[in-house]
Amino acid sequence: MSFDVICFDCDSTLSKIEGIDELARRVGMGEEMSRLTDAAMNGLIPLEAVYEQRLALIRPDINSINWLASLYIEEIVEGAKDVFTVLAARNKEVHIISGGLFQAILPLAKYLGLPESHVHAVAIYFNEDGSYQNYEQSSPLARTGGKAEICRRLIKSQDSLVMIGDGKTDMEAGQAGACVIGFGGVADRRVVRELADFYTSESSLVSVLAYIL
């Protein structure tokens, strides 16, 4: 099956890391934050129950976000660049839809050849001195069902859309009529295996091309 619009999650899909967990580890809160992230990605607690809590605890400043942006690229998933090159050559419309932080994900998106307008994530706001101020609380991506909401905006009556990701929040894209591919190359989650239309546990993202082209 060939899709017109192809959407990727970022954390544990395009990059091997979970950005919020890395920010937490940087300030000595790694284990506590990883438990919260894992619970949300496995659908045990709603995303909105942990989103504000995590950022309020970590309070990432602009230097932390720039550090994370570099780490996303350093830890890029095997085959991700190749996949985006193939999709660009075929003139596919590609987006990143993530509950991560927009400013941290944008450099990875640019590295993969995506325009800023095709990056859907949660903006973070800083004070004049670069310290943490707040995040985009109105963003649908900071709550359960947000990825389905973004997919509905992107899908047009004549288009077919596929969402590729590793977490329960990615599976919600199916509510918008999207086909959902679970990527278990970084994080192999049982709930995703059960809910995805297709699933791959190969470490290389190239494995998804068989399902989307």
Instruction: State the Cα–Cα distance between residues 67 and 91, nearest whole angstrom.
Output: 32
Active-site residue identified among 9, 21, 61, 166? 9
- The runs of H, that is alpha helices, within 42-167 are 47-58, 62-74, 80-89, 102-111, 146-154
> Is 11 a catalytic site residue?
yes
> Is 9 a catalytic site residue?
yes
Burial of 190 (0-12, 13-18, 19+ CB in 10 A): exposed
Query: Residues near 117 by Cβ (< 8 Å), separated by ≥ 6?
Result: none
Residues 124-163: b if buried by 16+ CB within 10 A, e if exposed: beeeeeeebeebeeebbbbbbbbbbbbbeebbeeeebbbb
Burial of 74 (0-12, 13-18, 19+ CB in 10 A): exposed
Active-site residue identified among 11, 61, 166, 170? 11
* Residues forming a β-bridge with 6: 94, 162
Instruction: State the Cα–Cα distance between residues 53 and 186, nearest whole angstrom.
Output: 25
What is the C-alpha radius of gyration for the chain, rounded to an integer number of angstroms? 16
The set of catalytic residues is 9, 11
